[in-house]
Amino acid sequence: MTALTRSVLRKLAPRRRATAADAPIGPPAAAAAAAQPARAPVEIAPDDPLLAYLQAAGEAVDVEALELDSPALRELRAARVRIAVPLVAQGELIGVLSLGARRSEQDYSSDDRRLLDNLAARAAPALRVGQLVREQQAEAATRQRFEQELEIARLIQQHFLPKQLPDLGGWQLAAFYRPAREVGGDFYDVIPLPDGRVGLVVGDVTDKGVPAALVMSATRTILRATATRLVEPGTVLEHVNEHLCPDMPEKMFVTCLYGVLEPATGLLRFANAGHDVPYVRTAGGVVELRARGMPLGLLTGMAYEEKEMVLAPGDSVLLHSDGIVEAHAPDREMYGFPRLKATVGRGPGGQELIDVVLADLDAFTGPGAEQEDDITMLSLQRTATAAAAPAAASAGDGDAQVLAEFELPSVPGNERQALAGVAVAVAGLALAPAQLERLKTAVAEATMNAIEHGNENVAARAVAIRVLHQPARARLRVQVTDGSHGGELPAPEVPDIDAKLAGTQLPRGWGLLLIESMVDETRVSSGPQGHTLELVLYLEGDPDDDA
């Protein structure tokens, strides 16, 4: 309150009864008046007609003379308010100065009203300044609390992201995380599992700030604890969902892709809780890892479909969040899934693939574009293929160079991964298209036989594939070894078309004949590791006499 306001109120004090902030004082003695409790200020609702009337009046108003259907007016009369003086600053009603009856019981004179109007005109700006100062102080306090919350959330998020990625022999693993604001809802994780397996996680929590960071930390903690016990991706997501549902905040949920990798065999089993579909770049093109499942934390009793794929040498996987595909160009075109899929097809793998995606995304959104959503990527590439300097072969292989060595679990259909891996390994040899197709057919048939006959479709028994190049002799050798641990080879059954048609001979048995017709030479051997079928392809000329 300004000095002028206090001075005017002192001049009015001997003649006035009370302001609206006090209960009106009646005829009793001053001691009794002082003992009465103060009334709370009258609140005027935004839709009360008295509000519009006072703003339009702009001068002292006789409360008793007003004829309005107004709850606030009735409260003022109940408080025995006689005069209401609107306080208006810059055309806005910011308060009302209300007074009760004068001690003399006389009406307020025109001089009194002019004095009150003058007081209101001078007091209103000062009151407005005080209001603005309080609002700024409240906003500053709110802003400080918000910044503290963001800092807490940022620390929580940083604590639960991996400090470093594990070193997987024969694999390149890289990750990228960039929130759109101080704190994001994305997360990723790499979880060590029993028997050398590795859990791969990419997730996205709806919302931002502290609530999202807390949900993220809870999800990550439950998932890690569950993964080491249950391992299977679908079962793990079911367990995490049941734990999250009871305590998930309203309108929040978590999308999550969880996969389990066997580095030795390249087998990747995965389940998806409503997350964006990962992409795999293979020798045959880019494929999608699709599996059905609801986001975590929405409904209990959900089942999560589990799929698997064997990653051949040279294959690379990209797990990502929707911050990439939902980014927009200056003309509001969306980046989209088809563009990301095409970019993955052009990129190599590991950190290089992440760099390629980021460069393409930056070129698409344009310079200085504001990031709309969190961006998270986890890239994995199997690198057990030909290096710049091929490794030497083992003793007994002469001048052969090892172009590739990998294993596949004995699962029907993995022959496709075998032929893809061999195709990647021999890409630098410039085979004629027809020659390459014959080799791929022979490799697929040999792998199928090893899976079905040698390993009896037992997934735990691996089929080992080794690709050798002998430049001096212009030969390519592919060795396919089953996991039957050696022993005598059974005599092959000679296919008999009449016996097969009569049903006395199984409709199989043409595999070895097919293989022999596809390559230049085949060799069968047996050792401690299992039975090996070697396919030999002459890269130029005829075989040597001592072949």
d(CA 409, CA 267): 7
Asked if CATH classification 3.60.40.10 holds for the domain at 161-382, the reply, yes or no, is yes
Q: Read off the pLDDT band of 38 (50, 70, 90).
A: low
Q: Mark residue 334 as left, alpha or beta (left: phi above 0; alpha: psi -120 to 50; beta: remaining).
A: beta
Q: How is residue 277 annotated by DSSP?
A: P
Tell me the two tokens of residue 467: 């690709």
List, for residues 197-218, the tens digit of each pLDDT value.
999 999 998 876 677 777 888 8
Q: Read off the pLDDT band of 2 (50, 70, 90).
A: very low
d(CA 57, CA 63): 12
| Rounded average pLDDT over 394-422 | 79
CA 385 to chain centre: 31
- 175 close to 378: Cβ distance less than 8 angstroms: yes
Residue 190's SS3 state is strand
Instruction: Please state the domain extents for the chain.
Output: 3-132, 161-382, 391-538
Task: Select the more confidently predicted residue: 512 or 201.
Answer: 201
List, for residues 339-386, the tens digit of each pLDDT value.
999 999 987 888 999 999 999 999 999 888 888 888 999 999 998 543
d(CA 192, CA 187): 17
Lowest mean pLDDT among 87-91, 108-112, 146-150, 199-203: 146-150
d(CA 350, CA 171): 9
Tell me the CATH architecture of domain 3-132. 2-Layer Sandwich (3.30)
User: Residue 378: beta bridge partners?
Assistant: 175, 319
What are the residues whose beta carbons fall under 8 Å from the beta carbon of 456, sequence distance 6 or more? Answer: 410
Statement: residue 263 has pLDDT above 80: yes
- Strand 316-320 and strand 306-310: the pairing is unpaired
Q: What does each C-alpha distance from 76 to 37, 72, 153, 505 come to in angstroms?
A: 17, 6, 49, 107
Query: To which H or E segment does residue 401 belong?
Result: strand 401-409
Q: Which fold would CATH assign to domain 391-538?
A: Heat Shock Protein 90 (3.30.565)
Statement: residue 328 has pLDDT above 60: yes
What pLDDT score does 126 carry?
Answer: 85
